[in-house]
Amino acid sequence: MSGTASRLAAARVLDAVLHRGRSLKGEFGAELPKLDDPRDRALVEAICFAALRERARYASALNAWVPKPLGKRDDPLRALLDVGFAQLDALQLPAHAAVDVTVEAARAFGRAHQAAMVNALLRRAQRDGFPPADPAQVWPQWLLAEVRRDWPQHAEAILAASAAPAPLWLRVNRLKTTRDAYLQSLQDAGIAARVHDALPDALRIEDSLAVAALPGFDEGLASVQDGSAQAVADALTPSMGARVLDACVAPGGKAAHLLERDPSLRLLALDIDSRRLRRTAETLRRVGVDAAVELKAADAADPAAWWDGVPFDAVLIDAPCSATGVVRRQPDILLHRRPGDLDALLLTQARLLDAAWTVLAPGGALVYATCSILRRENADQIDAFLARTPDAIAEPLAETFGHEDGAGRQRLPGEDGMDGFFYARLRKP
C-alpha cells in the first residue's frame, strides 16, 4: 500500500530514539535517504517531530487504553502506535492515511499478529482523542528546575514555545541574489514568506516545506538557518577583509553567512570532528564560498596544535552547549541530556573562551554564542571569564538580540518566531 514505507521509516526512527538512546538527527540520516520522494521524507520528519513533542500525551492515553502495560519487547509496537497517533492528532491526516496505512505498516514491521490491536487503538484515538497537553511533562526534572530558576517569569512561555513547531527561516545569499528578488521567486512558486526588519538576509516561512521545493536551493541562492543563528553575523560584524577565526564551525552556516556578506574575509574554520567538517565543506561549496575558507580539524581550545602565531581580528565561538534553546527543532534533547553533560560543557566553554582570547589581536572582537537558555552556560560563563580576564571589555548589544542578561543578551525560544540564543561581544583593548 502506498505510504507504508514512510510509516515504517518513522517507526524505525522513533523506536531507535525513544527506546535505544539514538539521536534523531543520526536516525534521520540513516532512514531518509532510503525514501526517493521528498514528500515522503518530509512526512517522516513531521511524524517524528510530532510524536516526540507529544510523547507524554500519547503514552498516557495508551496506558489507559490497554489492560496490560506493554513490555520492552513491544517497543517497536509502541513506536508504530506513536506514528499513528501523531498522524491523527498533530498532523490531522485523514483516517485512511493515518489508520489504514499504519496498520499495513504493522504487518510489514513484523507485527502482523498485532495488526488488529493497532487498528483498534488507532480507531479509539480517532474517536476519543488525547488528554490535554502539559509541555512540562517531557522535560527531565533537573533541567526543568534550571529553566524555572533562571527564567521564573518566562518559564511557561519557554515550555510552550519549545513544544510548538518552528517556522522555516531562510538566509538569502547576497552573493547570488537579493532578498527582494528571492522573495519574489518564492511568491512565484506559491510559497508565502515575509521579511524581518532586524535581519537583512532573512525570510520567514510559516508552513513546513521540503528544501527541494525552494527555488535555487541546490544552486546556493538560499539556506535554511534560524533567525537567531543569522543574528550572530550581526553581533560579530568583522571589518572588510579581516582575519577571522570560527572556532566551532560545523555545520558551517555562520561561516557561510559571514562570507556571503564579505568574501574578502580571511577565515580559518576549526572543528574538532573531522566528519562534521566534511558536511561543512559541502555547505560552503553549495553557497559558493568554499575557496575563501581554510578548514582544519582541530581543538580550538589547544592553539599550540593549530595556530600559526598570527592574531585574528575577530573570533566567533559558537560554543557546544545544552541546546536547550532549540528543543522545538531537536526534541530528543530532552530524552538524552544528563546533568553530567552540562558540567562537561561548562568546562569546554571556559577552555574555548580562554584559548580564543590568546589568539585575538589587540582591538579585536570576540563573540560568544550558544543555542542555550541556561544561565550557567551563558551570562554566568561570561561573567566568570570577565572576572579572570582583566583586559576583556564587554560591549553592549542592541535590544534586538533579546533580553539583557549579565554582559550579554538572551533571546528565549519562540520570541519573534526564533530559537533561543545567547550572544555576548567582548573587545580586547
CA dist., res. 299 & res. 131, Å (int) = 47
CA dist., res. 306 & res. 164, Å (int) = 42
Catalytic entry in 48, 248, 321, 371: 371
SS3 content of the chain, % helix, strand, coil (to 5): 50, 15, 35
CA dist., res. 178 & res. 86, Å (int) = 38
Up-side HSE of residue 377: CA atoms within 13 Å toward CB? 29
Grid cell locating 127? 474517536
CA dist., res. 388 & res. 396, Å (int) = 19
CA dist., res. 144 & res. 325, Å (int) = 13
**Helices 75-88 and 4-19 sit at what angle, rounded to 10 degrees?**
120
190 DSSP assignment:
T
Strands 222-224 and 243-246: unpaired
The DSSP string of 41-64 is HHHHHHHHHHHHHTHHHHHHHHHH
Where residue 225 falls (left for φ over 0; alpha for ψ -120 to 50; beta otherwise) is beta
Are the C-beta atoms of 366 and 360 separated by less than 8 Å?
yes
| Nearest of 80, 75, 113, 79 to residue 99 by alpha carbon | 80
Instruction: Identify whether 371 is a catalytic site residue.
Output: yes
Are the C-beta atoms of 355 and 315 separated by less than 8 Å?
no
C-alpha distances (whole Å) from 24 to each of 27, 158, 320 are 5, 22, 18
Within 279-356, strands assigned E span 293-297, 312-318
CA dist., res. 49 & res. 83, Å (int) = 10
The one-letter amino acid at 20: R
CA dist., res. 256 & res. 250, Å (int) = 11
Are the C-beta atoms of 316 and 365 separated by less than 8 Å?
no
- Which residues does the annotation mark as catalytic? 371
